[in-house]
Amino acid sequence: MPEREEELSSGDALKQDLFLWLQTMSIALVVLILLFTFVGRVVGVDGSSMEPTLQNGDLLLLQSIAYTPKQGDIVVLTKPFGQVDGAIVKRVIAVGGQQVDIDYDAGTVSVDGVVLDEPYIKEAMVEPPASSFETITSVLVPEGSVFVMGDNRNRSDDSRDTRLGVVDEQYILGRAVAVLLPVGRFGLLERPVYS
């Protein structure tokens, strides 16, 4: 009889361990769902407009809650325009109250009269053909809006295109804080410091 009691108690112990494991996994799943719903999100990069900083297919972790856009941040937008559908990943060049000037001849972008040092861009910027779209070369960004550009300037639909222009902050899903996948590109995304 003592052997039978021992069998039952080990069977009960196994059931108890399984129940505890399921309970822990359920709580962890609920916490993850709440975190990704209210605090952060995961978004995939679609296209080459942010190369070399981000690659097509990269999976990004976004900071969504309590976020105020800052110059240099990489953000994900939801504002539809032209042929673009879905989330758009761009870099904030200027925020509300800042003056943006683009000099295609020199290949430079200035904010408040200071040329930005942009080591992250893929190649020198050239002016798009006039038939492509009407471009913005100078703008004072309204409060509550941002001016965004891709790091791959010659392959980016961004705020230079009048169809998008400056973007109201309500369209920002969040700031990209890290590349999650692929594993070989895993890491934090740093905001550049402009002088």
Question: pLDDT by residue (tens digit) across 59-115?
Answer: 999 988 888 999 999 999 987 766 667 789 999 999 999 999 999 999 999 999 999
Q: Are residues 76 and 168 in the same domain?
A: yes
**CA pair distance 193, 195, nearest whole angstrom:** 6
The tokens 């492509």 sit on which residue? 132
Whether 12 is in a domain gets the answer yes
Which residues are catalytic, by number? 49, 90
Model pLDDT for residues 1-39, shown as the tens digit of each residue: 555 555 557 778 788 888 889 999 888 888 777 666 666
Q: Which residues are within 8 A (CB) of 186 and not within 5 positions of it... i.e. 6 or more apart? A: 178, 179, 180
Domain that holds residue 84: 45-188
Position 138 in a domain: yes
> What is the predicted pLDDT for the residue at 139?
97
* CA–CA gap between residue 54 and residue 56 (Å, rounded): 7
Mean pLDDT (the chain, rounded)? 87
Same domain assignment for residues 152 and 130: yes
In a domain, 194, yes or no: no
Domains: count for the chain = 2
CATH of the domain at 133: 2.10.109.10
